Amino acid sequence: MVQIVKKNDEHVCGGCILDDENVITAARCVKPFRQNWSGTELKVRGGDVILQNSKLPTFQVRNVRKFVVHPDFNEKTLENDVALLKISDPFMPAPNLHEAQKGLSTPRGRCFLPGWQNNKGLPTLHFITFYPTDIDKCDRRPKKAICATSPIRQAACKNYFGSPLICGKKMHGVFIGPNGACKGRPALFTDITAFADWLEQMIYQEDDLPHPSGRQ
């Protein structure tokens, strides 16, 4: 679990490490940065429990040198809401910083969504419990998505966007909303198993990745 921040350390979204060079998040998180992208706008910060606290010695920061948004991302329907970030250098091994193990089947049972909530002015990492349910229970029904409910109607708001849905110690989804989830209604997650081929192609297609702004 990592935090995507602007160059001034302002929170943007959550994300998850896939391997030494790649971080997955929601497309909505990084699409606004495409137009004027120069390679210095975003960073990935990992290892924190209480974020933006320089007294914690465990956090690490890496620059985002390039990213790609799924070409079929639709902001209105929330379909294909996934993006891949390329970081400048690998994160060093640490007890609270791990690469994700991707789930390969439909998630079942108890799952967790990590994200940040304000605690006396400090963004602090929290975990919300979710249980996957039928997609019809969600207010929106995009394709290739997971619907999940919180048993005590905990709110998952915009600070959680891009964060991973963890089920059985494996990542199954990326939180994408919708707005009703901030009021405790069922939440939606991009089902990353449905995008395995696209992610693999983007991971290994380094030289051919398009510039985020669309420039050649």
Across all residues in the chain, what is the average pLDDT?
Answer: 87
The CATH architecture to which 111-193 belongs is Beta Barrel (2.40)
Both tokens of 52, joined, read 């933006």
Per-residue pLDDT reduced to its tens digit, 169-179: 899 999 999 98
Examine domains 2-98+196-208 and 111-193 and report if their fold is the same.
Answer: yes
CB 184 within 8 A of CB 153: yes
216: confidence class by pLDDT, cuts 50, 70, 90 = very low
Residue closest to 97 by CA, chosen among 24, 163, 2? 2
Which letter does DSSP use for residue 57 in this model? T
How much is the pLDDT for 123? 65
Q: In the chain, where are the structural domains located?
A: 2-98+196-208, 111-193
Which letter does DSSP use for residue 210 in this model? P
Decide which of 207 and 182 is more confident. 182
pLDDT at 95 over 50: yes
pTM of the model: 0.89
CATH class belonging to 2-98+196-208: mainly beta
Per-residue pLDDT reduced to its tens digit, 13-60: 999 999 999 999 999 999 999 888 888 899 999 886 655 555 555 689
How much is the pLDDT for 47? 80
How much is the pLDDT for 114? 92
How much is the pLDDT for 1? 85
Per-residue pLDDT reduced to its tens digit, 108-157: 899 999 987 766 666 677 899 999 999 999 999 999 999 999 998 888 88
pLDDT at 99 over 60: yes
Decide which of 179 and 94 is more confident. 179
CB 86 within 8 A of CB 21: yes
How much is the pLDDT for 57? 54
Distance CA 98, CA 95 (A): 8
Tokens 């998850």 sit on residue: 16
How much is the pLDDT for 51? 53
Per-residue pLDDT reduced to its tens digit, 58-71: 689 999 999 999 99
